[in-house]
Structure 1
Amino acid sequence: MISLKDYTGSVYGGLGHLLFAFCQAKGLVISKKLQQVQNLERFDYSTWREILTDIDQQYQRPALGLEIAEYVEPKHLGIIAYIAMSCDSIGEALNRYYDFHRLIYDGSPLKVENNQQYLSIRWEDLPVELTTQVTNEIAIALMVQFLKRFLGFLDIQLHEVHFSHAAPKDVMIYERYFKCKVRFSQARTELFFPSSELNKPIQQGDQTLQLLLKQQAQALLEKLPNTTQLDERLQQAILKGLQTNHYQIEAIADVLNMSVRRLQKHLQSQNSTYQQRTQEVRLLLAKQYLDDPHLSLKEIALLLCYSEQSAFQRAFKLWTGMTPQQWRQDHSHYIKN
């Protein structure tokens, strides 16, 4: 997957309140970083990771993320918790969690897959170096607490929990907490949930309230600085559009099932334009094509939907300050014009 920008995301300010409550309960020193985020609506994921690392170094006990999650309340997750509580079933609540998960953490998309027997829930596309065992623990544990405490399913049965980091000394702490098999050193951090649990009803379901809350949540979602999943879809649509010479904004908006105006508004919120996004994708593709010594500049121009090679050369010089020939010479041992 080509990445248009290095964006690690932001977390909901309520999670900062959760860490504050935990530190108070355990008699830990409240760090300056933790104090600084108490009045913020959202803060950077990197700051979240740093605060968790500070607490881990101070507390020095295993399974820190699991302990922190025990203190979560609906206010710490915000509107998404109240939407879940207004749903009629676990399945519907998980769907809403999927729809609005970026309000809790915006940066890597939540992936949900159902193979009929189990529901797999995981976060993707976050570089390994940006995660720690504690950040993974709290992500999974908050999901479990979300199901147990907010929805009232204290006896909910999980199938398995996977962590990407190496196994700690005492794995049984995790298996007692999740009440299922917990595996470490896995390809990704993931929760496996029995599909048979999805139809369990939620007693306090209220569809009218849910509709109002969803409208508020959607408004909040549109204010986020980077709508990660939409940007991924936009990038893929432009990539495919360039392959078929159907990359004009009208065609791309249609692929994304949205109006041109809404797409333009989304890009405007990021101080970007559709032309800029198209050029970003063209530049990324151009560099990849130039790495292939078997492609001539004329062929690359056609692949990028330029009618003439000279137009491609002018654009590339504008983007990089170098001609395609110069770039290819600097990055390849084989040159073919």
Structure 2
Amino acid sequence: MQQFKDYAGSVYGGLGHLLYAYCQAHGLLICEKLQQVQNQERFEFSLWREILDDIHRQTRHTALGLDIAESVQPRHLGIIAYIAQSCDTLGEALSRYHDFHRLIYDGSPLQVEARGDYLSIRWQALPAHLATQITDEIAIALMAKFLQHVMELEDIRIHEVKFIHPAPEDVLFYERYFHCRVRFSQPQSELIFPASVLLMPIRHADQTLQKLLMQQATTLLEKLPHSTQLDERLQQSILKGLQKNNHQIQQIAEQMHLSVRQLQRHLQQQNTTYQQRVQQVRQLLAVQYLQDPHLSLQQIALLLNYSEQSAFQRAFKLWTGLTPLQWRQQNIA
């Protein structure tokens, strides 16, 4: 699989078509970047942000993301929209959306979480240079319109919407749009629904079609390159987990706001396993610790969460061909 060193996420080409149609409908100048992505299956998220910024400069629309989302059609979201439409219930559709959301935007993990009588749908925070008020708005508004219009669930009721960015002058505009309370300057952007929506039936359910579409979606998902952002977060989570003796895959996945299945799939795409990644992090730490002459081999073994020093020695020799003592003597000398 092709790897991209600075890969920071991509979006489905259909979203480029959505922006093109919006510009045409409103008589806006179609910038060169927007022209270029019309024939691309996917394009970088940074380009998506730049095109949105260009449209905003032309319109100065207070809630541009909400306005753009009004025009969304299944073709703009691709195969994931058709999979969702073939499900029996909204709960099943959200589960499928969760599994394949990278096909729409690959880079910021989607989190669907039950909180008592409510259901939260949110995205992991993006780096500051990629996330803007407009990207947050359009992500939230696209999800809301996807459920209401694409899924033909006009009766669905949103309990609350939260945005990271500060409140605009006209908060009521947002509340009229979502038909619920909208809060700003929150820790994360998210949609909150009553948990009862999970049981809502879908009119055009077709399990046979769903299986065929999921096979296609799985193939498309496997073609996506890995995100170095996700790998860096995984390494940091394992580092912290080793320090606290809290590094089982279930615990690490939860910290990263991923399901175990999502994390395992990500690692499989790189032909590795979770245990191999843990060992890689242990090796990095071991080399750092061995350079400190004040740490004994027994202390290092404990810091790396080995129950016995002998287990650490065996692992280190597999990594380097040397015992920890031999490596320390050679490198410190």
Secondary structure of the residue aligned to 1:210 is: helix
| 8 A contact 1:118–1:192 mirrored in 2 | yes
Superposed, 1:1-337 pairs within 5 Å as 7-226=7-226, 266-267=269-270, 277=277, 281-282=281-282, 285=285, 295=295, 299-300=299-300, 303-304=303-304, 306-307=312-313
Residues in 2 aligned to 1:29 and 1:293: alpha-carbon distance in whole angstroms: 65
Residues in 2 aligned to 1:204 and 1:228: alpha-carbon distance in whole angstroms: 38
Q: Structure 1 residues 303, 63: closer, same or farther in 2, change over 3 A?
A: same
Q: Structure 1 residues 81, 15: closer, same or farther in 2, change over 3 A?
A: same
Residues in 1 aligned to 2:288 and 2:72: alpha-carbon distance in whole angstroms: 46
Post-superposition offset of 1:285:
3.8
Q: Structure 1 residues 265, 144: closer, same or farther in 2, change over 3 A?
A: closer
Aligned length: 303
Residues in 1 aligned to 2:183 and 2:74: alpha-carbon distance in whole angstroms: 29
Question: Which one-letter code corresponds to 1:130 in the other structure?
Answer: L
Post-superposition offset of 1:162:
0.2
Q: Structure 1 residues 128, 285: closer, same or farther in 2, change over 3 A?
A: farther
Q: Structure 1 residues 287, 125: closer, same or farther in 2, change over 3 A?
A: farther
Report the TM-score when normalising by structure 1. Answer: 0.76
Post-superposition offset of 1:115:
1.8
| 8 A contact 2:14–2:77 mirrored in 1 | yes
Q: Structure 1 residues 257, 97: closer, same or farther in 2, change over 3 A?
A: closer
Residues in 2 aligned to 1:158 and 1:274: alpha-carbon distance in whole angstroms: 37
Residues in 2 aligned to 1:204 and 1:290: alpha-carbon distance in whole angstroms: 62
Report the TM-score when normalising by structure 2. Answer: 0.77
Question: Which one-letter code corresponds to 1:30 in the other structure?
Answer: I
- Deviation readout 1:151-187 (Å, 9 max, x if unpaired): 1111321000000010111111110110000000000
Post-superposition offset of 1:100:
0.6
Question: Which one-letter code corresponds to 2:269 in the other structure?
Answer: H
Post-superposition offset of 1:101:
0.5
Residues in 1 aligned to 2:287 and 2:28: alpha-carbon distance in whole angstroms: 51
Using the aligned pairs only, state the percent identity: 61
| 8 A contact 2:87–2:205 mirrored in 1 | yes
Name the counterpart of 2:256: none
- Deviation readout 1:54-108 (Å, 9 max, x if unpaired): 1111110111000100111101100000001111111111111111101001111
Q: Structure 1 residues 241, 176: closer, same or farther in 2, change over 3 A?
A: same
> For structure 1, which runs of at least 5 residues remain unmatched after alignment?
248-255, 317-322, 327-337
Name the counterpart of 1:251: none
- Deviation readout 1:236-272 (Å, 9 max, x if unpaired): 679879999x99xxxxxxxx789x9x9986225xxx8
- Deviation readout 1:130-167 (Å, 9 max, x if unpaired): 21110000000110111011111113210000000101
Q: Mean Cα displacement is larger for which, 27-36 or 275-284? A: 275-284
Q: Mean Cα displacement is larger for which, 7-16 or 101-110? A: 7-16
Residues in 2 aligned to 1:293 and 1:56: alpha-carbon distance in whole angstroms: 58
Q: Structure 1 residues 220, 228: closer, same or farther in 2, change over 3 A?
A: farther
Residues in 2 aligned to 1:263 and 1:169: alpha-carbon distance in whole angstroms: 42
| 8 A contact 1:110–1:123 mirrored in 2 | yes
Post-superposition offset of 1:127:
2.3
Secondary structure of the residue aligned to 1:71 is: coil
Q: Mean Cα displacement is larger for which, 46-55 or 183-192? A: 46-55
| 8 A contact 2:13–2:38 mirrored in 1 | yes
Question: Which one-letter code corresponds to 2:313 in the other structure?
Answer: S
Secondary structure of the residue aligned to 2:98 is: helix
Secondary structure of the residue aligned to 1:11 is: strand
Residues in 1 aligned to 2:205 and 2:215: alpha-carbon distance in whole angstroms: 17
RMSD over aligned CA atoms reads 4.0
> For structure 2, which runs of at least 5 residues remain unmatched after alignment?
249-259, 307-311, 317-321
Residues in 2 aligned to 1:141 and 1:291: alpha-carbon distance in whole angstroms: 52
Residues in 1 aligned to 2:201 and 2:228: alpha-carbon distance in whole angstroms: 32
Residues in 1 aligned to 2:325 and 2:131: alpha-carbon distance in whole angstroms: 40
Residues in 2 aligned to 1:44 and 1:193: alpha-carbon distance in whole angstroms: 30
